[in-house]
Chain A
């Protein structure tokens, strides 16, 4: 058994040696990071494997489930359909970059907690990013707006009812504590609403 493992490891090392690679520069949750990658690496695997930011989950590797959602240069993306080499120089935000320095939950996270909006938690980072993305653009969404915003994220535990309630609650909390972005989704040109709002990035 141990010999097999050793053989597999040396084979893997030999394979890796033949795989083209490069060094890329990323800004990860505000801090500059230089990472050595293989050209074939997907962003999600670099984030989890090299950067050890395992809050980003891998569900389907097909762009369906949304568990690997993070922000690249201000836009939410599913990091399983992004090649790491193609985002050299980009700024990325993972779920680890959302909490305050003391680890306190923001109002969206707190609303999800208070509304029992997750059970196993696997889909949670993706749902938090999708909700924040909506609220950064539209501080007063309708329930249908929320459902449209969460359409790219799958949850097998909640049945979505509490997720929608939590998103509506989060919007209310942002409005009442004054952190809602004043820019409205109706402004369709210029910087995107999510980029224009600097309170939550």
Chain B
């Protein structure tokens, strides 16, 4: 059981959420899906006396416009897998959500924004969202602000969220090009060792690695796009570029950094191979 004398708060406006977060700063957590937070509290690894549940705000909408796709904070993996708007505007989000560990029960519970905020190095969503050039809409004591996913992560389990701030929604731009994905994990019930989101558009090509370093790592490979019609990127050259870019690999109980650094190039190459399949 959770050992702290926990108090549960269920505000109904974003302003009240920020007020509660500020009032209990340092002794409070936001409850999204709860799939990471609650086990950690149950194991006495996280000790906060206050939980602020976002359910009173709704925040379960998926909204698609001509320019972007908005996923509110309590949208679950199952929600995006059932959404035609997501399939149309950001199929990569479905691709990644389908592979989330824990089965349908966890996909019905865990939220994309929760994973984005948890900033766990060995997880799928932060790097996928960075790769899609997503932005996060934050609400704080001074109102709303937008932060690029690529600027959001500062270290393992650390973000730029300030006192009183929380993520209200994830905003993904449309038309950022084609995407490919590859994930290496060592059993179906485990966490990723390395992930790669490959993106290619008319003007640029990029790889975003997840789980390989403490925070998502973006690598520009635009100059490697082949000059012929297929625009194919040479595997060997790509691997070399990726390997050189991984300078501070992440070590945890699942894999040492040296292993992650070794597989990163192959994972990136496979993400591009998948992408070529979708272009054909």
Chain A residues with CB under 8 Å of chain B are: 15, 18-20, 22, 38-42, 45, 61-64, 66, 69, 75-78, 80-83, 85-86, 130, 133, 149-154, 188-189, 192
Contact = CB atoms under 8 A, between A and B. Distances in A.
Contacts, number: 110
B188 interface: yes
B8 A39 contact: yes
Interface in B75-127: 78, 82-84, 87, 102-106, 108-109
Contacts of A63: 35, 39, 102, 105-106, 109
Contacts of B53: 83, 85-86
A76 B39 contact: no
Contact of A19 (B5, B82, B105, B188): B5
Contact of B106 (A42, A85, A149, A152): A152
B38 A83 contact: yes
User: Which of A15, A82, A83 is packed against the most chain B CB atoms within 10 Å?
Assistant: A83
5 contacts: A39-B6, A42-B42, A76-B105, A83-B34, A152-B103
Interface residues of B, number: 34
A81 B34 CA distance: 6
Interface in B15-73: 31, 33-35, 38-39, 41-43, 51, 53, 55
A66 B78 CA distance: 17
Interface string B135-167: 000000000000000000000000000000000
B105 A152 contact: yes
A83 to B, nearest CB: 6
The 6 closest A-B pairs by CB, nearest first: A152-B103, A40-B6, A39-B8, A40-B2, A85-B8, A20-B7
Contacts of B189: 64, 151-152, 154
A40 B104 contact: no
A42 B5 contact: no
Interface of B: 1-2, 4-8, 10, 31, 33-35, 38-39, 41-43, 51, 53, 55, 78, 82-84, 87, 102-106, 108-109, 188-189
B108 A61 contact: no
User: Which of A38, A40, A61, A82 is packed against the most chain B CB atoms within 10 Å?
Assistant: A40
Contacts of A42: 1-2, 38, 42
Contacts of B87: 188
A47 B34 CA distance: 18
A78 B8 contact: no
A39 to B, nearest CB: 4
Nearest to A17: B5
Contacts of B2: 40-42
A8 B41 CA distance: 23
Contacts of B103: 66, 130, 149-153
B5 A18 contact: yes
A86 B55 contact: yes
Contacts of A22: 8
A86 B5 contact: no
A81 B111 CA distance: 13
B6 A188 contact: no
Contacts of A75: 78, 108
User: Which of B33, B34, B109 is packed against the most chain A CB atoms within 10 Å?
Assistant: B109
B58 to A, nearest CB: 14
A128 B109 CA distance: 19
Contacts of B105: 63, 66, 69, 76-78, 130, 152
